[in-house]
Amino acid sequence: MFIKQREVPSELKITRFLQHRMNWTEKETRQLVYDEKGFEGEVFVDHLIEKFPDDNYLAIGDFLFEFNSSYAQIDTLLLMANKLILFEIKNKEGDHYYEEGKLFTASGYELKSPFEQSDRAEALFRKKLQSFGIKIPIDSYILFVHPEFTLYQAPMTIRKLVLPTQLNAFFKKLEANLSPVSRKQIDLSQKLLNFHQPDSPFKRLPNYTYEELKKGLYCESCTNFSLSPSDKKIVCQTCKHEESIKHAVLRGVEEFHILFPNHKITLSRIKDWCRLEISDRSYQHVLSSNLVVKNHGRYSYYILAEKTYRKV
């Protein structure tokens, strides 16, 4: 089982929202497409791992750790009975070629080397484990998961590399080597989880302020800003998608909170953010029945309880 599930990285969540609310450059669009694709590839591998019998593996999705002020990220960490496996996952497509440890596109553009990236993460992880007196062999693999990815000139001696056509056989072999998870593995997994740093130092976010962002809610289906209330529902005038007032307002609250975690959630703020033509009472009803009220009267504000997210 996954002892830490992969989540949509906060950076990706934020940029997904921002693209609808500010002028978005071509470069930012490319970065967003790239990040979405990377995330998709990682989720794809999660599904392959989840096909293993639940009691026979422990895995950690998106593991970020620090050692001596250096950070490294491991897309997926799999704990086997007698070793740890680190996965670096790539979802690139098209023709590429390999030359002296480097990766190039067919047109000769050199990409950031996944081989160096994986070596560095593995070396740092080894040091981290050593510093805690943890002795266990480590294997690492670079998985290229896109079915339309081709790599020319890759020598068969690169043991780390798993190409799309090899993925099934690779996971079958892994599965054949699994055995029921032991107490020792569970203890180790807990130690490793404690190394995980939830806040990534690698965030690259565009600068934005509340004032400059486009306000209002966009349709969750077609992303047009064309929502109107109709018969106790919110209806998109473009694609006719319907959602409840509660769902729409909570969606707005969650987006506002993710974009501006330090701003207080107040009635007036949420009204300004969502700009739905519904009464104050309707807003207030959704806020007070789904969020936790702090203070009262003029200075009241709301905080999101953990469970509010799941309702959205």
Kindly identify the residues of this chain, within the stretch 6-45, that bind Zn ion according to CB under 5 A: none
Q: Near Zn ion by CB under 5 A, which window of 12-20, 34-42, 221-229, 297-305? A: 221-229
Cα gap 279→26, rounded to integer Å = 39
In whole angstroms, the minimum distance from the beta carbon of 237 to Zn ion comes to: 8
- CB closer to Zn ion, 182 vs 237: 237
Q: Is 168 a binder of Zn ion (CB under 5 A)?
A: no
- CB closer to Zn ion, 205 vs 222: 222
Contacts of 264 (CB under 8 A, 6+ apart): 301
Residues 69, 70, 75, 80, CA torsion sign: negative
SS3 label, residue 74: strand
Q: Which of 150, 200, 238, 300 binds Zn ion (CB under 5 A)?
A: 238
SS3 label, residue 170: helix
Q: Is 222 a binder of Zn ion (CB under 5 A)?
A: yes
- CB closer to Zn ion, 222 vs 305: 222
In whole angstroms, the minimum distance from the beta carbon of 242 to Zn ion comes to: 10
In whole angstroms, the minimum distance from the beta carbon of 29 to Zn ion comes to: 21
Confirm if 72 and 65 have CB atoms less than 8 A apart.
Answer: yes
Q: Near Zn ion by CB under 5 A, which window of 69-77, 174-182, 195-203, 233-241? A: 233-241
Q: Near Zn ion by CB under 5 A, which window of 77-85, 188-196, 228-236, 265-273? A: 228-236
Q: Which of 239, 292, 303, 305 binds Zn ion (CB under 5 A)?
A: 239
Centroid of chain to Cα 290 = 25
Cα gap 144→162, rounded to integer Å = 6
Cα gap 81→51, rounded to integer Å = 18
Burial of 20 (0-12, 13-18, 19+ CB in 10 A): middle
- The structure tokens 């081709």 sit at 150
**DSSP single-letter state for residue 164:** G
Cα gap 312→274, rounded to integer Å = 15
Q: Which of 236, 265, 278, 304 binds Zn ion (CB under 5 A)?
A: 236
- CB closer to Zn ion, 62 vs 243: 243
Give the Å distances, CA to CA, from 178 to 10, 137, 182: 33, 15, 11
In whole angstroms, the minimum distance from the beta carbon of 282 to Zn ion comes to: 21
Closest CA to 97 of 45, 140, 150, 134: 150
In whole angstroms, the minimum distance from the beta carbon of 220 to Zn ion comes to: 8
Q: Is 241 a binder of Zn ion (CB under 5 A)?
A: yes
Q: Is 230 a binder of Zn ion (CB under 5 A)?
A: no
In whole angstroms, the minimum distance from the beta carbon of 216 to Zn ion comes to: 13
Cα gap 50→76, rounded to integer Å = 12
Site string for Zn ion, 191-220 (x = CB under 5 A): ----------------------------x-
- CB closer to Zn ion, 186 vs 239: 239
Number of residues in contact with Zn ion, rule: CB under 5 A? 7
SS3 label, residue 234: strand
Q: Please give the residue ranges that form the binding site for Zn ion (CB under 5 A).
A: 219, 221-222, 236, 238-239, 241
